[in-house]
């Protein structure tokens, strides 16, 4: 059985194909291919919205990494068609990802977890970051969590 998000992607793909949206068509096809790989990799894997979001997030992260590599070499989207496609795909897929907590909300979560752990020192930064990521996976930005935890613990 398809997840709600997977079904939504299917409908969006049809709309993109009808309207000639090559960016949306390519982005959704890439995501759907990866979801299919995960579905068939292990027998009995259920495709949930969480799995689809995980696939989308991983693909967007991959695209953003490639864009950063191009930028480091001084290449601009206006100068390279492939780069422009990557930027457009990453932007297109953002609408399927849940909104991440802001800095203030993330800091409050970290404070709550720090309070529940009792005395902590800078050596526990990795453990605290792991606890936050475990409890709030997909709802917080890992880089922001790491930065805030290290700042709070002086690591």
Q: What is the mean pLDDT of the chain?
A: 89
Q: How many other CB atoms are there within 10 angstroms of residue 105's CB atom?
A: 13
Is the C-alpha dihedral spanning 11, 17, 23, 26 positive or negative?
positive
- Give me the domain span that covers residue 48: 4-96
Residues 89 and 128 in one domain: no
Domains contained in the chain, number: 2
* Whole-number CA gyration radius for the chain: 19
What was the pLDDT predicted at 136?
A: 86
Residues 88 and 147 in one domain: no
Length of the chain: 155
Residues 84 and 110 in one domain: no
CATH of the domain at 66: 1.10.1510
Residues 78 and 56 in one domain: yes
pLDDT digits (tens, 9 = 90+) for 134-150: 888 878 888 889 899 88
What was the pLDDT predicted at 155?
A: 66
Residues 24 and 61 in one domain: yes
Share of the chain above pLDDT 70, in %: 97
What was the pLDDT predicted at 121?
A: 82
Residues 85 and 120 in one domain: no
Residues 45 and 81 in one domain: yes
How much is the average pLDDT of 74-91?
Answer: 89
How much is the average pLDDT of 101-108?
Answer: 90
Residues 89 and 121 in one domain: no
What was the pLDDT predicted at 76?
A: 83
CATH of the domain at 112: 1.10.10
Q: Model-level pTM?
A: 0.73
- Alpha-carbon distances, residue 90 vs 17, 19, 149 (angstroms): 18, 19, 28
- CA pair distance 111, 142, nearest whole angstrom: 16
Write out the chain in H/E/C secondary structure. Answer: CCCHHHHHHHHHHHHHHHHCCHHHHHHHHHHHHHHHHHHHHCCCCCCCHHHHHHHHHHHHHHHHHHHHHHHHCCCCCCCCHHHHHHHHHHHHHHHHCCCCCCHHHHHHHHHHHHHHHCCCCHHHHHHHHHHHHHHCCCCCCHHHHHHHHHHHHCC
Residues 87 and 133 in one domain: no
């Amino acid at each position: 059985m398809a997840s709600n998000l997977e079904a939504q992607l299917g409908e969006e793909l049809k709309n993109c194909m009808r309207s000639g949206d090559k960016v949306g068509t390519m982005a959704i096809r890439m995501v759907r291919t990866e979801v299919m790989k995960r579905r068939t990799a292990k027998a009995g894997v259920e495709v949930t919205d969480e799995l689809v979001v995980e696939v989308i997030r991983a693909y967007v992260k991959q695209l953003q990494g490639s864009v950063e590599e191009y930028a480091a070499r001084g290449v601009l989207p206006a100068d390279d068609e492939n780069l422009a496609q990557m930027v457009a795909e990453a932007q297109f897929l953002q609408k399927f990802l849940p909104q991440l907590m802001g800095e203030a909300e993330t800091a409050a979560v970290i404070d709550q977890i720090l309070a529940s752990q009792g005395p902590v020192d800078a050596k526990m930064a990795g453990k605290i970051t792991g606890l936050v990521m475990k409890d709030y996976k997909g709802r917080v930005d890992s880089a922001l969590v790491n930065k805030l935890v290290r700042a709070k613990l002086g690591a």
